[in-house]
Structure 1
Amino acid sequence: MQIFNISMKNNPLAKALIRFISNNPLYKGVLVLGSGTVLAQLIGIVTLPIITRLYSPSDLGVLAVYSSILSIVVVAASFRYEFAYPLPKQDETAANLFALCLLLLIVTSIGFTFVILFAGDILVTVFHLESLVQYLWLLILGFFGMGLYTILNHWAIRQRDYRRITYTKINQSASGAACKILLGFISYGPIGLIIGQIVSQVFGVSTFSRAMWKTEWDSLRKISIDGIKSVAKEYWSFPAFNLPASIVNTLSLQVPALMLLAIYGSQTVGLYALAQSLLVLPGSVISTSLAQAFLGEASKMVREDSLELKPLYITTVRHLSLIAVPLIGIPALLAPIVVPIIFGEVWIDAGWYCLPLALMVIPQFVVSPTSKLTIYGYNHWMLMWDITRVFGILVGFYVSQLFGLPVIMTVTIYALIMFAMYLFLIILNLKAISNFTQLVGSYRTE
């Protein structure tokens, strides 16, 4: 260890790297988030070959459909008011936003429960969810758990509590994987995977809530009915624009699993889910960490009317582009050979799905962490982009079903549509940031 420290001190490259990270809040946040996220992802990587041998592609397909439905409905859990956390300059205002989100989550959870109880059979018939019918009640638990976790996670981002976010990710990954493996050994089937996901949410909520109770008590005491009403009116644009945009955005990401279920069955969904995970997993350490750190820094720059926002965006996109091609492209090329060896012969088709999906995941890796149109005041742009993307995806799947195309062709069409849409989103972000900086510049010259 002493030799390592000496070599670091005498290495000009290492000194320059340390100085660069120390002086750059964005990459300092990425380092903190990334270091713990690496461990969380390693847990997922190590346990995934075990899980694929305990569960079938059909089992994983049921989990993918469950997750897709949950991801779509939970968007409305708090009407997206949690996205407004970074904007208030006073913690008291942000605390009232938190209370508003919590109240909305309780109301929407009750409403979702009634939907499942009284309209569950209709949903199963309309959306071909026969494979999920006996697990519908678990959607209620997942809805409240994921909604609460989202509210607490966004608060931690506002406070730039990157260490807490990282610690939570590790807890979630370890607890969820352990539960899935344990239930897999006793042959629980799809319910073992779903319960494992719920357990990981519980661990995430408990970690965040304990930290918030200890550190934010002074702000939480200032919550009032008038304060909640005030922030609900002040940030009305988030439920008005960001909520429908988020619903459409989530639909565009989750519709493929539901469409594949309707056209090809749950086994194909499981193979697709594994292929997507294998491509997203290597870059998720960087992408997730950078997304949260970029949001924290970009929000701060917007509040302070900083002209450094555009250079930050361009530099971040450039760095991510240089990383994405080898990080995602190489595993995709090797997947058809490696996947059946690591995960078993039954998963061989997942390796072939990786090839076309790489066309989507590479630009997604670059764009997703840096696309923040909402904090620049362009919620409506995001909504229109999401609507266009969903329309394009639905047309792609319709064409595939109409002509009876094989799965690999359907996945390729979907990936190409997503590739084009992500490139267009970069253009929209650059335009929004340019408009913001021009407005700030005009203020300063007056």
Structure 2
Amino acid sequence: MIDIRKNLKSEFSRNVLTLITGTTVAQMIPILVSPILTRIYTPEDFGILALFISVSTILSSMICGRYELAIILPEKEEDAINILALGFILAAFLSFVLFLIVVLFHHTLASALGNLKIEIWLYFIPLVIFTLGVFSLLNYYNNRKKYYEDLAKATVLRSIVLSIVQILGGFFYKGAGGLVIGQIISSFSANLKLVKNISKDKVLISKINKNHILTVANKYKRFPQFSMWSALANNMGFQFYNVLVSAYYSSKTLGFYSMSNRVLGMPATLVGGAMAQVFFQHAAEEKQKTGLTKSIFIKTLKKTLIISLPTFLIIFLIIEDLFALVYGESWRVAGSYVKIVTPMFFIRFNVVTVSNVMNIYGKEKALLIWQIALCLIALLSIFTCSYLKYPFEISLYAMSIGLSLNYLILLYMVYNLSNKGKLF
């Protein structure tokens, strides 16, 4: 038993290290090229990019019905590959429907978003959310198969393509065009790397059929019923917040805020996401064997605290001066935004890493309620502050405090599930 635990611990650490190495390299690339981009593009350009990403992210949360989460769970590979096929079909169909909506209502949609400059780029959103949906499906399937090196390489490739295209695009397009085109092209690159692990297994692919797809669709229907709306609420909280920043304040303010998320939010999310991927796979195995996920929960939480505590503390202390030094004095305000939300991102990093315990125990309904609360807190903070004519910084403080408390509630629920098998 001791040897088995040691092997599991060693495997977990090795897999986490593989993914974190890949995501760290992947995120270092955009951060390193950011000083170049801030001298090519304006804060308003970054605001348009943030708006494009926000709309794409909100819609991508529904594109596969969240069936990608179910890929990890079945014991049989035939079930997993048919879930993958189901997700692909949903992504293709819904992307096509969305394209028709954009063709018919592109000007109305741009007006509703409060920025007519994004109108031409709305046509590309269906394509981007399709590639994001496929990436999520491939990501979970490769996670199931423990192809962590390929996941790391795909993430790095995506980052390299994004940075190169955005830099080159700045010399050929005026405005935000280069930034958005980089986002579009990079979405394809990672998929090409990950799909090879599936396409080479012809025997498994041959087991995809209509009846099996309908069977797994019904068996795991709780994911579109609850998890899809949960993910939508989560993305609405963070991404629709960006839309409202642009509408209620300005594209420039959104540009500063999006840069703060680029430097802090994305690396924190992706490094935490790397650990969450490995945690999900190992926790699902532990639940099947012991009925609980106590051991892997405690082990993972300790690791995230060791990583995040000194990192976020240093960020909090130096970030304003660092922004001014690296990006120019005009970007100091973005550093001040980072400082405000750093405590919330610290808590979020640790909680999100272990939050898939809710899906493992089938608590999607409870997670949906929690996500709705998350969304309401974020949106109410900006609605209230804009109505009262408060500056944007007050909205950030309100959101950061409210979301921090909500994440701590989720941590309490996850802890109880892992240790007792119940929420409260």
Report the TM-score, using the length of structure 1 for normalisation: 0.89
The aligned counterpart of 1:326 is 310
The structure 1 residue matched to 2:206, chosen from 198, 206, 221, is 221
Contact map agreement 2:58 2:240 (CA 8 A) in 1: no
Deviations 1:388-427 (A, max 9, x none): 1111222211220122111211111111111111111101
Contact map agreement 1:363 1:422 (CA 8 A) in 2: yes
- The range that moved more, 176-185 or 293-302, is 293-302
CA distance in 1, matches of 2:388, 2:153: 48
Contact map agreement 2:297 2:354 (CA 8 A) in 1: yes
The structure 1 residue matched to 2:65, chosen from 58, 61, 79, is 79
The aligned counterpart of 1:364 is 348
The aligned counterpart of 1:24 is 10
- The range that moved more, 26-35 or 230-239, is 26-35
Letter of the 1:235 partner, please give it.
Y
Corresponding position: 1:264 with 2:253: no
The aligned counterpart of 2:333 is 349
Letter of the 1:380 partner, please give it.
K
The aligned counterpart of 2:97 is 111
The structure 1 residue matched to 2:47, chosen from 61, 79, 84, is 61
Q: Which runs of 5+ in 2 are unaligned?
A: none
State the secondary structure of the residue aligned to 2:56: helix
**1:79 deviation in Å?**
0.8
CA distance in 2, matches of 1:399, 1:336: 27
State the secondary structure of the residue aligned to 2:195: helix
The aligned counterpart of 2:160 is 174
Contact map agreement 1:40 1:169 (CA 8 A) in 2: yes
CA distance in 2, matches of 1:35, 1:356: 28
CA distance in 2, matches of 1:76, 1:187: 32
The structure 2 residue matched to 1:400, chosen from 374, 378, 385, is 385
CA distance in 2, matches of 1:44, 1:421: 30
Corresponding position: 1:199 with 2:185: yes
The structure 1 residue matched to 2:224, chosen from 233, 236, 239, is 239
Contact map agreement 1:112 1:140 (CA 8 A) in 2: yes
> How is 1:65-144 mapped onto 2 (pairs within 5 angstroms)?
65-144=51-130
Contact map agreement 1:328 1:362 (CA 8 A) in 2: yes
Contact map agreement 1:60 1:270 (CA 8 A) in 2: yes
Corresponding position: 1:38 with 2:32: no
CA distance in 2, matches of 1:300, 1:217: 27
Q: How many equivalent pairs are there? A: 418
Shift in CA distance, 409/437, structure 1 to aligned 2, threshold 3 Å: closer
Report the TM-score, using the length of structure 2 for normalisation: 0.94
> How is 1:242-321 mapped onto 2 (pairs within 5 angstroms)?
242-280=227-265, 283-284=268-269, 286-307=271-292, 309-321=293-305
Letter of the 1:297 partner, please give it.
H
Give the greater-gyration-radius structure (CA). 1
Deviations 1:338-379 (A, max 9, x none): 212101222121011111111211101111111011121100
4+ residue segments displaced more than 6 Å: 19-22
Contact map agreement 1:378 1:432 (CA 8 A) in 2: no
Q: Which runs of 5+ in 1 are unaligned?
A: 1-18, 439-446
Contact map agreement 2:282 2:296 (CA 8 A) in 1: no
Corresponding position: 1:156 with 2:142: yes
Deviations 1:44-84 (A, max 9, x none): 22111111111111111111110010001111111111110
Contact map agreement 2:238 2:378 (CA 8 A) in 1: no
The structure 2 residue matched to 1:183, chosen from 158, 169, 175, is 169
**1:20 deviation in Å?**
6.6
Contact map agreement 1:283 1:327 (CA 8 A) in 2: no
The aligned counterpart of 1:5 is none
CA distance in 1, matches of 2:242, 2:54: 7
Identity level (%): 26
CA distance in 2, matches of 1:131, 1:365: 34
State the secondary structure of the residue aligned to 2:146: coil
